[in-house]
Amino acid sequence: MRIGLDAMGGDFAPRVTVEGAHAALTHLSAETTLVLFGDRAALAAEDTYGLLDDPRIDVVHTSEVIAMGDHPVKAFAQKSDSSIAVGFRHLCEGDIAGFASAGSTGAMMVGSMQAVGQIEGVIRPAIATAFRTAMGTDVLLLDVGLNADCKPEVLTQYGTIGSIYARETLGIPNPRVALLNIGEEPEKGNLLTKATYPMMAERGAAGDYNFVGNVEGKHLLTGEVADVVVCDGFSGNTLLKTIEGFYRILHRKGQSSPIIEGLNYENVGGTPVLGINSTVIIGHGCSSALAIANMIRLTERAARTDMVSQFKRAFNG
C-alpha cells in the first residue's frame, strides 16, 4: 500500500516532515510505501537520516507550495504543481490510498470536497478527533469545526459516520454513540439537540448504530458513557480548543500522566475528513515531528480499513 504526505505542509516543514517520516517508518507495515510530495532539493537538504534512500520512500517532486495565507480555492487551482494539489491528483488516480498534510487546512478541504468528493447520500462530511479517556479507551468527537451550523439530519448522520470510523479505525466493536448536550434527559438542550435526539433514537432502534442518549461534557473523557460523541462544529471546535488549552497549561506546569498525554494533539496526529470518497487526514499547522509521525501512522491505519466502503454501504445500500 502507498500513502502520501505533503512534505511541504506545516509551519516547520520540511524539517519536521522529514524527521516525522523517518520516525514513522519503524511503525509502518513493511508493505507500506510512504510517498513524499515536495521539493526534492529542500527535502534532501533536511535529510540527515538517509530517509530518501530508503526503499519504502518515494519522492514526487513538486515546485510550488500553498502557503497558509493563500486563498484556498484560488491557490488550489492556480498552484497546480503544489504539494497539496499534486498529492490530491495521486489520491484521485489511485496511486496512493491516503493523503495527509499539516499545511493549509482550507486547501485540504478544497481538495477533499472538489477533487475527492463526498460520498453520495452524505449531507455534509465531518472532521473528527479522538481523545484518550480515563479508562484508557478512545472517545471520538465529531464534528470539530467543519460545519459550525448543523441541522438535525446532519447530526443524525454523524452518528452513523462516527460509529463506522470508531469501529473500523479505532477498533471499538459496538461503539456507544451519544449526543452532546447540557443534560442527560431527552427533553434537555436547545432547539437543535431537542430535534436531533428522537431522530438519533430512531436510528438506534433501527440498529443503524448503538445510540445511548445524551452525554454531558463532564462525562466526555470518563469513557463511562460513550465512545462517539456527536455535536455541531461550533460546539465541537470550542470543546476541542478548550481541551488543547487545558493540556498546554498542565504541560507548562510539568504535570504528566497517561490521561493528560491523551489530550495532546501530537499523540493523535491529525483529524480525518469523514464522509468523503477516500482517506484524508489534516494535521495542525504547528505540528512537531512527533505529530507528523503520528499523522502518518493514522493515515496508514485509516487507509487499511474498510471505512469508505462501509460509508458507501450505509448511505447507498
Grid cell at residue 121: 447520500
CA distance between the termini of the chain: 27
Query: What is the residue-level pLDDT of the chain in tens, covering all 317 positions?
Result: 999 999 999 999 999 999 999 999 999 999 999 999 999 999 999 999 999 999 999 999 999 999 988 999 999 999 999 999 999 999 999 999 999 999 999 999 999 999 999 999 999 999 999 999 999 899 999 999 999 999 999 999 999 999 999 999 999 999 999 999 999 999 999 999 999 999 999 999 999 999 999 999 999 999 999 999 999 999 999 999 999 999 999 999 999 888 888 888 888 889 999 999 999 999 998 899 999 999 999 999 999 997 899 999 999 86
User: Dihedrals φ, ψ of 231, to 5°?
Assistant: -160, 170
In the sheet that holds 138-142, the strands lie side by side as: 57-61, 33-38, 2-6, 98-101, 279-282, 271-274, 126-132, 138-142, 228-230, 176-180, 210-215
pLDDT at 317: 67
What is the Cα–Cα distance from 17 to 100, expressed in whole angstroms?
A: 11
CA 183 remoteness from chain centre: 28
What are the grid coordinates assigned to 133, written together?
479517556
**Whole-angstrom distance, CA of residue 269 vs CA of residue 297:** 8
Of the candidates 93, 62, 94, 103, which has an alpha carbon nearest to the alpha carbon of residue 79?
62
| Residue 280: per-residue pLDDT | 97
Separation CA 221–CA 132 (nearest Å): 7
C-alpha cell at 100: 495527509
State the Cα–Cα distance between residues 227 and 212, nearest whole angstrom.
Answer: 10
- State phi, psi for 18 to the nearest 5 degrees: -65, -45
Q: What is the pLDDT of residue 258?
A: 85
Give the separation between CA 120 and CA 118, rounded to whole angstroms: 6
Q: What is the pLDDT of residue 316?
A: 84
Contact at 8 Å (CB) between 159 and 140? no
* Cis status of the peptide bond prior to 54, with omega within 30 of 0: no
In the chain, the amino acid numbered 182 is I
With 0.85 as the threshold, say if the pTM is over it. yes
DSSP string, 253-297: TT---HHHHTT-HHHH--EEEESBSSEEEE--TT--HHHHHHHHH
